[in-house]
Amino acid sequence: MNFTELNYILCIAKHQNLTKAAQELYVSQPTLTKYLQKLEREMDGKLFSRSGNSYTPTYLGRRYMEYAKKVLAVNQDWEKELQDLTSHSEGELNIAFPLMRSSCMVPQIMQIFHEKYPGVKVNLLEEAYAIQERLLLDDQLDFAIFNEVKPHSKLEYETLFHEEILLVMPEDHPLASMGNEKEGYPWIDLKLLKDEPFVLHFPEQNTGQIALELFAKYHIQPPVSIRSRNTVTCVKLCQRGFGMCFIPENYMKNLELKKSPACFSIGEQGVFSTLSIAYRKGAYLPVYAKDFINIAREYM
């Protein structure tokens, strides 16, 4: 096995098409075909079954690719450690955030991080949970930040911080005066809003799922006037009277609004969400990656 060979076969499996794989690898299709045929002759077996232009991995191919991923992962870890051993001034960091989350975390964290590691290139992705997890398992990320985790056996998790989920309503809403004083935000009984319209995130989003769980807990079924994946959109619609909304506290702190809405804890104890960092189990994290995590934890 060599690294070129490993990457070629994994790319063919990814696209299940030689033309698309060749385009991604910047080689000609005939070159890739010859490479695959030569490898299959050497192995005395087929790595892919062909059906028209579709290439599906055989059992031999699947087993080959399991080892290919392990070899590439070990090489990737070695390159990161070697870079740490020789210099901290340059490197690359690949991080995935939940949808919409990076806007209220990255600017402040990057300011501190960039001062310490000006030569480290940072690639930021905003992806849904399933895509983040797949990219981690495929070694395309150093780590990912999740709102909530569904533990995977091949990943390690660290808690970054606990964050309160706030109920938001227009400042001049009649119920805005119904809050009960406590440290932090006044709290409100969600049952008071049983007939009020809501602007919610979609159920597959963390805050959208929390909203449904709260409605079930308080035995209410308020009307949902609008759903949006965008937190800023939800808040601005709320301010225009389209309905109440739920928002993580750190979003609220970082929104630049001409007029702030009224914010409440939900119930006397409040409702909290956990933000976690995940990375591949056993993976080598460069010094600058560990520092990014520490800076994020300290800042948040």
pLDDT tens digits, 112-141: 999 888 889 999 998 878 888 888 888 889
* Full domain range(s) for residue 169: 162-271
Task: Please tell me whether residues 119 and 53 are part of one structural domain.
Answer: no
Task: Please tell me whether residues 252 and 291 are part of one structural domain.
Answer: no
Counting the structural domains of the chain, the total is 3
168: its two tokens: 């938001």
pTM: 0.65
Q: Please state, in angstroms and as integers, the Cα–Cα distance from residue 220 to each residue in 174, 217, 269, following that order.
A: 19, 8, 19
Per-residue pLDDT tens for 6-50? 888 898 999 999 889 988 888 888 888 888 888 888 888 999 998
What's the rounded Cα separation, in Å, for the pair 33 and 223?
58
Task: Please tell me whether residues 48 and 194 are part of one structural domain.
Answer: no
Task: Please tell me whether residues 281 and 146 are part of one structural domain.
Answer: yes
229: its two tokens: 């994946």
Closest of 93, 154, 152, 145 to residue 276, by C-alpha: 145
Per-residue pLDDT tens for 146-169? 887 788 999 999 888 889 999 999
81: its two tokens: 């450690």
Across-strand partners of 262? 169
Residue type, 294: N
Task: Please tell me whether residues 116 and 126 are part of one structural domain.
Answer: yes
Q: Is the CA virtual torsion 201, 207, 210, 215 positive or negative?
A: negative
Residues in Cβ contact with 44 at an 8 Å cutoff, skipping those fewer than 6 apart = none
